[in-house]
Each structure stands twice: as structure tokens, then as C-alpha cells.
Chains A and B, each alone.
Chain A
């Protein structure tokens, strides 16, 4: 069995509410994403999808539990090392793509490279963009690109530092139905080509259905069951 890229054990996360009480958002006894595996995590709004991705990527620290990324328990790392590990091992694709508006497509990829352990590689950045069909849009800023093109830049950027896994947060939510399939195909094919694990969180069952492994957040997040 391939080694796990992401492993969660007894991860819990809660937030303080305005009234002072704490609302538990995550209570995940266990989750594993193996190297090269592609999985969809399906959940409705408020089920803790984004929180889970933030915890896995080290943006948020869980209240308790163990989060391993590429074999390292990131809950024990100081923030700066979590940042470095995130840059080196994880690629993120956001719902709104979140490209930096003042930077060209190429620069958006180069920026991601500049935070990793390896020095920015212009040739690789160019190759990544060419691989997603943007050879002719390298020097265009996001505002000059179509939604589909922006999404491709986001995918290329996620792969900038040769990550072990790509985490995509509702990647189809801001595109129309006609483009949803393109986005899913792009993510799946690109990650397959690069041998990178892919975890897509989505509220859309149609999207989740296209992945070989499909998980319902409500089933393995005990915090959701309590709310229900």
C-alpha cells in the first residue's frame, strides 16, 4: 500500500462563538490520503470542509489530535516551519482561484515558487503553464484571462513546488456547469500526470461522483453528526 501523504488522527477543532461558548467544527477520528490517490470530500455548507483543509495545510492548528503531512506531524511545528512545509509539500486551489491580481500568470506561479525551499525556476513555471494550455497567456494578468484560464493558472501554481498533494477547496463552485467538467478533468489529469495526490472538497455530489474515492464529511466528522 502506498505511504500516506496526509494522515489525521483524532483531530478536533472548535471556535469561540460571540456568546462565549465554543462550537465544535471538526471531530475527525481518522483520515488518510495515500500518495497519488485522488479523493473527493463531499459536504454541505457549514460542514467544516474549509476548516478541514486549513487544518491539513497547517493554516490552522487543531485543538487536539495529530495531523501528518508527508510523515511530519505539523501540529508540533512552529508556524514558520508549517509555512515552509506547506509551500514544499502541498498545493492549494481555491474556490475563487485567488490569483494575485497585480501579477501575470507566470509571476503567479513564480511567487508560489519563491516561498518554497528551491529557488524559483522560470523554465519550470513556463512549462507548467504550457502544460495547462496557457503558453500564449504567460504574461497576461488575471483580469485579462477568462475564468477557465484563471483556473488553469491556479492549478499550475498549485503544482509549482512539486507538492506531494493538491488540496482543492470547492474548485468548481465559481464556474458554470459547462466548465465544471473541464475543471475536474484538469485537476484529475494534471495530478495524475505529476503523480500528485488530490483531495477535492465539494458540496456538489456530481463532482464528488467523478472521483474513485468519495467521502461524505458528515459520515466521518463526528462534529457534523452531533449538529444533526
Chain B
């Protein structure tokens, strides 16, 4: 019979105590594993928002972090809106009604507006234009892809695109209609939008968004900025198609899209003429602008971003924030310290559990002394009994650790859907924190050996004659 077999039988002999010890260790390990994995998922969730194909976010003056959290991660509340006039400063000549390039247009490669404030069954509704999915990328140039359907066209005022998590959670598919609510889930119910496409999973916050054509968004009750009547009338004009001639917002690829909107709107006008007229510019605002800075002559976009950010922040119209910088700050200031604190607490739990091994083994040392003396009388060397006791602790630690590892992953799997819905990253039983988990096993074994050292030495020194 091997020493491992002897150690295993010793555990079975004290099954209840051993079981409790292993259980307490398993609970500690489960907490550590769950903390490591969920911490990693949270980091992934934030990291996923750093590469969405734009490097600046322009919004109202206020907290840059709040601007990023709201615009990129679809959490927190919007600060305020910025004016349509300010938004147009980012557009090239062709995309503006006055055919003059905006003040910042030279530094901008892409500028996609977003409007927020509506919800659809707890998911954030983002009003934007087709450029969001047509020209922005998932970082590293990866385009958005659709699991089904397609992007809405700028001319489809009531078209909408769903993130994968939204479609999965709500069971919506292409062709289905949904009606956002104003300001909250129980707010005023808006007109229905039709799903034109469902995005393939991106493992980014985009998965949790409901994206609608901002032209339709603007037409909903409460979305038009109140302006003096004369001013509004001036813009829409008395001429019948006046409003249709005004370019709707569409980033920097306007002329073709403008024509498309005009034609589509005109084509659908007989069926629904009053609702299809776009909201006059004077009544429009945007919540934020997602900006990818230009890289003239191969210059890194970050260089222009610095200057553009400074120029915007020195002005009074709004602020610019770099999502990567803000998220790094958030991670460094809050997420990592919190994660470290949690890890420290859970590690202490494991250490306390390991002390449980010590207590358990010291508690049974009286009983063990007699067995050790008998084995020594039968010819066991001191090294045999020392090893057998250490192996007993290692079996408890590894057994408890394995059970805890399974339990920890079970916890992650159990709350996985919640994490996926709220953080936009997939979380399941096999989500892991490879480095932390790989270190956990040797950590447990070392801890077990340290805990068992005292009883093992006691066994080593057992006075055989005294116990026989």
C-alpha cells in the first residue's frame, strides 16, 4: 500500500472532519476563482470599449468619464446635449447645407452623431445614422457584421438595428417592431421602429444597444428642442419639400446619402407625408459625436486627436474625451484596486480555510499519534509518516481546491447571463482567468504543506514506545 493510499484512508477515517475542512477550503477557492474570473470579465468589458474605431468622443461639458461611460458603455446618464450647430463643425463641406467645411473638419476622418435618452425594455436606445455601422469599425479595421438582416438606411427613418444580446434576450428578429420609451422603461411610448438587422456578437457594449435611425428618433415626442416658432418655420420653409432638401446628419459621406434620403422620403411621402419630414436643424441636438481623427500623410491619428481635443476643450461648446485614457483611469483608480481588495479578502478566506486544515489535523493528532506509533512499530520510517501526513493535507487541499474551482466556475456560469446582458461580454462555465487560476493550484499545495507542517512534524517526532 502506497503512502498516498495510507493518507487517503486516514482522510476516510475522519471523513466528517476532513469533509468539513475540504468544504471550507472549497468555498474559499470558489470565491477566489469567481473573483478572478469576474474581475477579468469586467476588465475585458472595459477593454472591449477601447477599440471601437473612434478615438475621441465629443459631448457636453462635464465629466469626461461620464461621457465615455454613457457613449461607449451605454451606462450612466448623458451629461447634456450639444448643439446641432456644434456638431456640424465636424462635418466636411459636402455634408453641410452651407457647403462650407466645419471648423474641425480638417482633423476629422469620421464623425458619427449619437442621440440618447430612450429605452427599450431596459436596453439603451441610441439614435444614430447608417454611418455608425457602415464606417465605424470594431477596432483594428474589423467591420460590423450582421447575424441577420442589414444596417438601416438613412432614408429608413424608422429602421433599427439590434445588438446581439438585445435580440437574444428579447427574442426580436428582422422585421419585428419595437417601440422605445422616453427617458425610462415606464416613460412615454414612442412610435414603433422596424428591425432591419441583428448584429453578430461583438463582445463589446454594442451588443447591448438598440440602434435606431436618428431621423425617426428626432420625430418622437419630446425629442425636438423647443425653439421660437419663427426660427423653426424659417428653416423648414414654406416651400413644400424644403425640409427634404436639408441634409440630415450623416457623418462625412453626405451627398449620395442626402440624395437617397430625399428620394426615399419623397417616394414614401404620399403614404405618410407629415411624419416623414425630418426635424428642422434648429430643433435638433445630439448627445455626443464619435470622432475618428484624420491621419493626413500617414500621421498617427493620436497626434491630431491631441490637438483637436485641446481645441474643443478650450471652447465653450463642449468637451472632448479620449475613451482609452478615461477607461485606463477608471481601471487604475477604481476597478483594479477594487479587484485587488476583493482578491485580498478572498485570499484571506482561503488562508483561513487552510488554517482549518491545520486545526483539523492538530485536532486529530492524538488519534493519529497512536496510528503513527503502530505504523512506526511495523517498520515505517519517520519520513514515511511525515510524508503521509503532508499527503493527507495535500489531498484535502487539492480535493477542496478542485471542488472550489468547479463551484467558482459554476457561480460564473450561473450569473453569466447577467454579466453578458449588463457588461456585453460572454461569461460562462469555461470563462477563465488562466494566470490566476494556474497560480492557485501551487498556492494551495504550498499552503496545505505549510498548514500540515506542524502536525507532520508531530507525527515525525511521535514517541513510539509511549503510544504502544
Residues of A within 8 A of B (CB): 50-51, 54, 57, 59-60, 79-80, 83-84, 86-88, 92, 94, 98-103, 107, 110-116, 120, 157, 161, 169
Check A100–B371 contact: CB distance below 8 A. Answer: yes
Shortest distance between the CB of B265 and any CB in chain A (Å): 86
* Complex contacts, B383 vs chain A, CB 8 Å: 80
Check A57–B377 contact: CB distance below 8 A. Answer: yes
* Chain B residue, CB-CB nearest to A87: B379
Check B375–A115 contact: CB distance below 8 A. Answer: yes
Check A114–B1 contact: CB distance below 8 A. Answer: yes
Check A98–B468 contact: CB distance below 8 A. Answer: yes
* Chain B residue, CB-CB nearest to A141: B13
CB-contacts of B1-47 with A (<8 A): 1-3, 6, 9-10, 12-14
Check B381–A113 contact: CB distance below 8 A. Answer: no
Number of interface residues of B (CB under 8 A): 25
Q: Which 7 A-B pairs have the closest CB atoms?
A: A87-B379, A102-B13, A115-B379, A110-B1, A114-B1, A98-B374, A112-B378
Shortest distance between the CB of B391 and any CB in chain A (Å): 14
Asked if B333 lies at the interface with its beta carbon under 8 angstroms from chain A, I say no
Bound complex: CA A83 to CA B378 (Å): 8
Bound complex: CA A111 to CA B13 (Å): 15
Check B378–A87 contact: CB distance below 8 A. Answer: yes
Bound complex: CA A112 to CA B380 (Å): 8
CB-contacts of B423-468 with A (<8 A): 464-465, 468
Residues of B within 8 A of A (CB): 1-3, 6, 9-10, 12-14, 370-371, 374-384, 464-465, 468
Check B379–A60 contact: CB distance below 8 A. Answer: no
Other-chain contact of A102, B2, B12, B376 (Cβ < 8 Å): B12
Other-chain contact of B379, A54, A110, A116 (Cβ < 8 Å): A116
Shortest distance between the CB of B449 and any CB in chain A (Å): 22
Most buried by B among A94, A102, A113, A116: A102
A-B contact pairs, 15 of them (CB 8 A): A57-B377, A59-B377, A83-B376, A83-B380, A87-B379, A94-B468, A98-B468, A100-B9, A101-B13, A101-B371, A102-B13, A107-B1, A111-B6, A111-B378, A115-B375
Bound complex: CA A92 to CA B374 (Å): 10
* Complex contacts, A92 vs chain B, CB 8 Å: 377-378
* Complex contacts, A107 vs chain B, CB 8 Å: 1, 9
Check B375–A59 contact: CB distance below 8 A. Answer: no
* Complex contacts, B384 vs chain A, CB 8 Å: 115
Bound complex: CA A99 to CA B12 (Å): 16
* Complex contacts, B376 vs chain A, CB 8 Å: 59, 83
